[in-house]
Amino acid sequence: MSQVTDTITEPELDAGVEVSAAVIGRSPWELFWRRFRKDKVALLGVAFIAILVLLAITAPLIARFVVHHGPNQLNQDLTNEIGLPAVGPSGNYWFGVDTLGRDMFVRTIYGARTSLTVAFFATGLAVGIGIILGTLAGFFGGWVDTGVSRAIDIVLSLPILLLAIGIAAACSITAAGCLGGLIQPGISLVVAIIALFSWPYIGRIVRGQVLSIREKEFVEASRSLGFTNAGIMFREILPNLAAPVIVYTTLIIPNNILFEAALSFLGVGIPQTTPSWGRMIADAAAGQLYTAAWWMLLFPGVALVFTTLAFNLVGDGLRDALDPRMGG
Amino acid sequence: METLKRSSRVLAVVAVLAIVAAACGGGEEQAPPTGEPSARGGTYRTAIEDFGFTNGFDPTGEYLGTAWGLYSDLLTRTLVTYNHMAGVPGDEIFPDIAESWETSADGLTWTFHLKSGVQFGPPLDRDVTSADVAYAFQRINTKSLIAQYGNYYAGVIEGLTGDAKSQDTPISGISTPDDSTIVFTLSKPTGDFLYRLAMPATAPVPEEVGKCFTKAGDYGRFVISSGPYMIKGQDALDTSSCNAMEPISGFDPDKFMVFVRNPNYDPATDSPEVRSANLDGVVITIDTNTDDIFNKIQSGELDGSWASLPPKPLEQQYLTNPDLTDNFHINSGDRTWYITMNLLVPPFDDVNVRKAVNFVIDKSALQKAWGGPAHGEIATMVEPPEVLPETAEMDPYPSPNHEGDVQAAQDAMSQSTYDSNGDGECDADVCNNVLLVSRNIPPWTDMNPILSENLAEIGINVRIRELETSTAYTTIQTADNLIPIAANAGWGKDYADPYGFDFFIFNSAGIACSGQVNYSGVGMTKDQAAECGPKVLAAWNAATDNGKTPLPSVDEKMDECYGLLDEARTTCWVELDTYLMEEAVPWVPYIWATVFTVTADSVTHWEFDQFSGALSWAHIAVDNGIDPNSVPVG
Note the pLDDT tens digit of each residue in B285-308.
999 888 899 999 999 999 999 998
Contact between chains at B372 and A267 (C-beta distance less than 8 A)? no
pLDDT, mean over chain B: 91
| pLDDT surpasses 80 at B634 | no
- The pLDDT value given to residue B197: 96
- The pLDDT value given to residue B35: 46
Question: Measured between beta carbons, which residues in chain A are less than 8 angstroms from residue B372?
Answer: 81-83
The CB density around residue B320, as the number of other CB atoms within 10 Å, is: 8
- What's the rounded mean pLDDT across residues B17-26? 44
- Residue of A74, A79, A82, A294 to mutate, testing the B interface (most B Cβ within 10 Å of its Cβ): A82
| Interchain contact A180–B (C-beta under 8 A) | no
| Interchain contact A185–B (C-beta under 8 A) | yes
- What's the rounded mean pLDDT across residues B425-430? 94
- What's the rounded mean pLDDT across residues B502-519? 91
Contact between chains at B466 and A100 (C-beta distance less than 8 A)? no
- What's the rounded mean pLDDT across residues B254-265? 96
Give the pLDDT band (50/70/90) at residue A21. Answer: low
- What's the rounded mean pLDDT across residues B103-121? 94
- The pLDDT value given to residue A189: 83
- Let me know: does B491 contact B149? Beta carbons within 8 Å: no
Distance from B93 to chain A by nearest Cα, in Å? 37
- The pLDDT value given to residue B552: 96
Question: Measured between beta carbons, which residues in chain B are less than 8 angstroms from residue A165?
Answer: none
Give the pLDDT band (50/70/90) at residue A23. Answer: low
- The pLDDT value given to residue A14: 54
List pLDDT tens digits, range A185-217. Answer: 778 888 888 998 999 999 999 999 999 888 888
Residue B613: partners with Cβ closer than 8 Å, 6 or more residues away: B65, B66, B69, B333, B334, B335, B492, B595
Contact between chains at A287 and B312 (C-beta distance less than 8 A)? yes
Residue B400: partners with Cβ closer than 8 Å, 6 or more residues away: none
List pLDDT tens digits, range B453-491. Answer: 999 999 999 989 888 887 888 899 999 999 999 999 999
List pLDDT tens digits, range B74-101. Answer: 999 999 999 999 988 888 899 999 999 9
**First CA to last CA across chain B, in angstroms?**
75
- The pLDDT value given to residue A63: 92
In chain A, which among 124-163 make CB contacts under 8 A with chain B? none
Q: Is the peptide bond before B123 cis (omega within 30 degrees of 0)?
A: yes
Give the pLDDT band (50/70/90) at residue A328. Answer: very low
Give the pLDDT band (50/70/90) at residue B23. Answer: very low
- What's the rounded mean pLDDT across residues B38-58? 91
Q: How far is CA A254 from CA A40, A142, A174, A309, B185, in A?
A: 20, 34, 33, 8, 72
Distance in angstroms (rounded) separating the CA atoms of residues B365 and B30: 49
- Residue of A72, A76, A290 to mutate, testing the B interface (most B Cβ within 10 Å of its Cβ): A76
In chain A, which among 252-311 make CB contacts under 8 A with chain B? 267, 271-273, 283, 286-289, 291-292
List pLDDT tens digits, range B218-229. Answer: 999 999 999 999
Distance from B297 to chain A by nearest Cα, in Å? 14
Closest partner residue to B369 among A83, A186, A271, by Cβ? A83
| Chain B interface, Cβ < 8 Å to A | 290-291, 311-316, 319, 362, 364-365, 368-374, 403, 435, 440, 442-443, 445-446, 448-450, 452-453, 463-467, 471, 475, 481-483
Half-sphere exposure of A81 (CA within 13 A, CB side): 9
Contact between chains at A288 and B311 (C-beta distance less than 8 A)? yes
Residue of chain B whose Cα is closest to the Cα of A76: B365
pTM: 0.80
Question: Measured between beta carbons, which residues in chain A are less than 8 angstroms from residue B330?
Answer: none
Contact between chains at B440 and A267 (C-beta distance less than 8 A)? yes
Q: List the Cα angle A306/A307/A309 in 5-degree steps.
A: 60
Contact between chains at B446 and A83 (C-beta distance less than 8 A)? yes
Q: Which of A180-184, B7-11, B513-517 has the highest mean pLDDT?
A: B513-517
Residue of chain A whose Cα is closest to the Cα of B311: A287
List pLDDT tens digits, range B397-426. Answer: 999 999 999 999 999 999 999 999 999 999
Q: How far is CA B250 from CA B72, B174, B231, B282, in A?
A: 18, 34, 6, 11
- The pLDDT value given to residue B598: 95
Beta bridge pairs of residue B605: B621
- What's the rounded mean pLDDT across residues B6-33? 45
| pLDDT surpasses 60 at B6 | no
- The pLDDT value given to residue B22: 43
Beta bridge pairs of residue B594: B332
Contact between chains at B313 and A289 (C-beta distance less than 8 A)? yes
- What's the rounded mean pLDDT across residues B611-618? 94
Contact between chains at B464 and A271 (C-beta distance less than 8 A)? yes
Contact between chains at B481 and A175 (C-beta distance less than 8 A)? yes
Percent above pLDDT 90 for chain B: 77
| pLDDT surpasses 70 at A10 | no
Amino acid of residue B574 = V
pLDDT, mean over chain A: 85
- The pLDDT value given to residue A175: 57
- The pLDDT value given to residue B437: 94
Percent above pLDDT 90 for chain A: 46
Give the pLDDT band (50/70/90) at residue B2. Answer: very low
- The pLDDT value given to residue B4: 37
Distance from B479 to chain A by nearest Cα, in Å? 12
Question: Measured between beta carbons, which residues in chain A are less than 8 angstroms from residue B378?
Answer: none
Count of CB contacts below 8 A, A vs B?
95
Of B16-20, B92-96, B183-187, B569-573, which range is least confident? B16-20
- Let me know: does B458 contact B409? Beta carbons within 8 Å: yes
The CB density around residue B223, as the number of other CB atoms within 10 Å, is: 25
CB-based burial label for B71 (10 Å; 0-12, 13-18, 19+)? buried
List pLDDT tens digits, range A69-128. Answer: 899 889 989 999 888 999 999 988 999 999 999 999 999 999 999 999 988 999 999 999
- What's the rounded mean pLDDT across residues B582-593? 96
| pLDDT surpasses 90 at A232 | no
- The pLDDT value given to residue B30: 42
The residue with greater pLDDT, A266 or B241, is B241
